[in-house]
Amino acid sequence: MPAVSPATPAKTLSAPQKALIKLGLKRDIDLALHLPLRYEDETRIVKLAEARDGDTVQIEATVTHAEITLRPRRQLLVKVDDGSDTCVLRFFSFYPSHQKALAVGNRIRARGEVRGGFMGKAMMHPSFKAAGGTLAEALTPVYPTVAGLPQAYLRRAVITGLNHADLSETLPPQVGWPDPRGAMTLRDALTFLHHPTPSVSMIELEDRSHPAWVRLKCEELLAQQLSQLTAKRERDQLRAPILRPKPGGLHAQLLGVLPFALTGAQDRVGHEIAADLARRVPMHRLLQGDVGAGKTVVAALAAMVAVDAGWQCALMAPTEILATQHFAKLVGWLEPLGVKVAWLIGSQKKKERAAMLALIESGEAALVVGTHAVIQEHVKFKNLALAVIDEQHRFGVAQRLALRGKMQEGGMEPHMLMMTATPIPRTLAMSYYADLDVSVIDELPPGRTPIVTRVISDGRRDEVVSRIGAQLQEGRQVYWVCPLIEESEALDLTNATQTHADLSAALPGVMVGLLHSRMPVVEKKAVMELFTAGVMGVLVSTTVIEVGVDVPNASLMVIEHAERFGLSQLHQLRGRVGRGAAASACVLLYGTNEGGRLSETARERLRAMVDTNDGFEIARRDLEIRGPGEFLGARQSGAPMLRFADLQTDAHWLDWARELAPAMLDQHPGLAERHVGRWLGGKSEFLKA
């Protein structure tokens, strides 16, 4: 049962073969690297008398009774006796073949979890087969699978893949492993993990500290580092316009008219970006900074370098609210300097869009701000030299590549500046973002007030509403955020609408607004204008206000059902307040489960929010709690997540891989190519974005 050939017509594939493709198991090496979720011990028979409640065991016994009962529901009950005790096997789903195999007098082997009770021992839906034959010599693997792909078929496919895969050594012979336990060959490591011996420490298997796991983790991390470094070197061969600020030009003029001075961190990052723009190689820089750190002005200064040199710049944001915020801010800064800013969003009227497209194509619009509309096929730039992507993790690989493709100059690439308000922990930056240059704004502008965070039970909701009344009397404004319930957009909307009605009733004489994703853009804009102008006292919203909304007079944020939000998202939301001089607070209202308790994960998240306002510390804790997916966002489109290595526990092996990768590319390029091909196949294409 070899791996499915890419040349095989789809219509000739069996259902299990199609399921293999769905799992991404197309090559022999893919099958060899498809490791078990868990193992079953079919190497020994356990006497029922020795089996304790909760043990999962294999027994060999004779069927003494079998019947189908209809109460409390239709089920097959089979009583077996192994000479030491009896046990009832209970099946709610069964076929005539089950009844035949489990007929009275048949001797069977059954494996399942033993449960004790008033009626004696029982197993629910155990696996079973006829007794006899030799016992297994190794633990039986149970693999991740999908519908239409039985374990028996998958096990045979994995064995075939393991036998046929090229598992020859790809590491240079003089290279030593960072942990001597990883010195076993790749074939030995994989063979062992697919079929471990019964004597193995289950703890070492489950926590992935066994030498076989060490080997795989090291190889995987090395493949990732080689892939990242290869992408970076390939990009370094490309060409981009050389952009330098002119003395007394737009860059200097913008600095002169800004109503604030740059922080030291903004100034430092600005110089890093300017140095990139002055090179012939396309910039590929990630600018990270906490909420409110001032990334937009840094991007505007970079854009002025491009405009001064006679080129265009595009800024793409993930939501219309954020794009609107950027547009308003940039128009205010740049139009007095004579810089024309164009505006592109999906909901634009046809006439306005046509006018904007003409300005962009002619080059009259030096800066283009918008949403995904910026990358649509009919948008033609005259000469795009710098692309800025805000909240870059919200965009997929294809979208970032499409923006790069807007440059019309033959053989050249635009410079790319990607921005995120989610600080990236060091280990994540070293692995998933190793192909990027990273700049960090690690200093907030002066005058930003610390935000006090409180965790309060939903049962004290009335107290929170009273607090809102006090804030409003002081002339302040308030956000009330309702959770997004992904399973039901209608339920999400009902929740926000009901909260809006409740607060409107509880706060007579106060304008309470409502904002959610299903509102027409014109209505959203009208609501935001009223809130920004200070006319509206309270804004009830779903998470559409997570990024980009800047209202300095808002001093209180209430997040309802805070336990449903991720830690980074809570931190983003909290960053909407504390933007003015007034003391600001964030109230995390939480509900509990039926037992009246918060889950441990939710408790950890809320505790972290109370403990710190530091975005980097928040990011570190979020990585611990949730893993890397939260930070990678849409970069996962085509990106091979680390399947085996864990960035929390395996950072020392990551250091080893980072050190080895450049030497291996320089001295053993053939081995490096084979190593990446084995582990990633064609999945490293995502790094081009």
Sheet with 584-590: list strands edge to edge. Answer: 451-457, 584-590, 554-559, 477-481, 538-541, 512-515
625/505: higher pLDDT: 505
Residue where the block lists tokens 């559409």? 544
Q: Which secondary structure element, helix H or strand E, spans residue 514, and what is its range?
A: strand 512-515
Give the per-residue pLDDT at 627.
62
Amino acid at 682: G
Q: How far, in Å, CA of 359 to CA of 126, rounded?
A: 70
pLDDT of the residue at 575:
83
Q: What is the pLDDT of residue 569?
A: 80
Residue 109 has pLDDT above 70, yes or no: yes
Residue 687 has pLDDT above 70, yes or no: no
Check residues 110 and 616 and name the one with the higher pLDDT: 110
Please write the tens of the pLDDT for every residue from 169-216: 898 888 777 766 657 889 999 999 999 998 888 888 888 889 899 899
Banded model confidence at residue 396, pLDDT cuts 50, 70, 90? low
Read off the pLDDT of each residue in 149-162 and give the average, rounded to a whole number.
Answer: 93
Mean pLDDT of 652-678: 92
Q: Which helix (H) or strand (E) holds 368?
A: strand 367-370
Give the residue-averaged pLDDT of 553-574: 87
* pLDDT greater than 90 at residue 31: yes
Residue 154 has pLDDT above 80, yes or no: yes
Instruction: Look at residue 546 in the predicted model and tell me its pLDDT.
Output: 52
- What's the pLDDT at 121? 95
pLDDT (mean) for 279-298: 89
The model's pLDDT over 289-329, given as tens digits with 9 standing for 90+, comes to 887 788 999 999 999 999 999 999 999 988 887 888 888 88
Question: Nearest CA to 639 among 316, 400, 340, 458?
Answer: 400
> What integer pLDDT is reported at residue 486 of this predicted model?
44
Most confident of 186-200, 424-438, 533-547, 643-657: 186-200
Domains annotated for the chain, with CATH where assigned, are 44-130 (2.40.50.140), 250-441 (3.40.50.300), 451-612 (3.40.50.300)
pTM: 0.74
The tokens describing 586, both together, are: 């964030």
Peptide bond into 662 cis (omega under 30): no
Q: What average pLDDT does this structure show over 21-48?
A: 92
Between CA 471 and CA 114 the distance in angstroms is: 60
Placement of tokens 């063979």 in the chain: 191
Q: What is the mean pLDDT of residues 265-277?
A: 96
| Range with the poorest average pLDDT among 9-13, 124-128, 293-297, 573-577 | 9-13
- Encode pLDDT of 222-245 as tens digits: 998 998 899 889 888 889 999 998
| pLDDT for residue 609 | 92
- Averaged over 119-126, what is the pLDDT? 92
- pLDDT for the residue numbered 7: 56
Report whether pLDDT(631) > 60: no
Q: Answer yes or no: is pLDDT of 684 > 90.
A: no
Residue 285 contacts residue 275 (beta carbons within 8 Å): no
**DSSP E strands: which ranges in 150-234?**
none
Q: Find out whether 637 and 442 touch, Cβ atoms under 8 Å.
A: no
Q: For residues 575 and 548, what is the distance between their CA atoms, to the nearest angstrom?
A: 10
Q: How far apart are CA 5 and CA 465, in angstroms?
A: 64
For the chain, the average pLDDT equals 85
- H-helix segments, 52-143: 96-101
pLDDT value for 432: 74
pLDDT at 545 over 70: no
Question: In this predicted structure, which of 28-32, 203-207, 518-522, 653-657 has the lowest mean pLDDT?
Answer: 518-522
**Which amino acid makes up residue 286?**
L
The confidence score (pLDDT) of residue 153 equals 93
d(CA 354, CA 343): 11
641 within 8 A of 629, measured Cβ to Cβ: yes
Q: How confident is the model at residue 6 (pLDDT cuts 50, 70, 90)?
A: low
Q: Is the pLDDT of residue 125 over 60?
A: yes
Confidence of residue 663 (pLDDT cuts 50, 70, 90): very high
- The whole-number pLDDT of residue 640 equals 46
Phi-psi domain of 29 (left: phi exceeds 0; alpha: psi -120 through 50; beta: other): alpha
Pick from 34-43, 177-186, 559-568 the range whose average pLDDT is largest: 34-43
pLDDT band at 128 (very low <50, low <70, confident <90, very high): very high
Residue 347 pLDDT exceeds 90? no
* Whether the predicted pLDDT of 427 surpasses 50: yes
**Is residue 635 scored above 50 in pLDDT?**
no
Residues 6+ apart with CB under 8 A from 457: 589, 590, 592
Band the pLDDT of 639: cuts 50, 70, 90. very low
Q: Check if the beta carbon of residue 480 is closer than 8 Å to that of residue 588.
A: no
Cβ neighbour number for residue 35 with a 10 Å cutoff:
18
How confident is the model over 73-79, as a mean pLDDT? 94
Tell me how far CA of residue 565 lies from CA of 62, 340, 495, 605, in angstroms: 53, 39, 15, 9
> Per-residue pLDDT for 543 more than 70?
yes
Q: How confident is the model at residue 487 (pLDDT cuts 50, 70, 90)?
A: very low
* Residue range 339-346: mean pLDDT, rounded: 90
- The per-residue DSSP string of 380-425 comes to --S-EEEEEETTGGGS-HHHHHHHHTT--STTB--EEEEEESSPPP
Q: Can you tell me the mean pLDDT for 365-387?
A: 89
Residue 595 predicted with pLDDT over 70: no
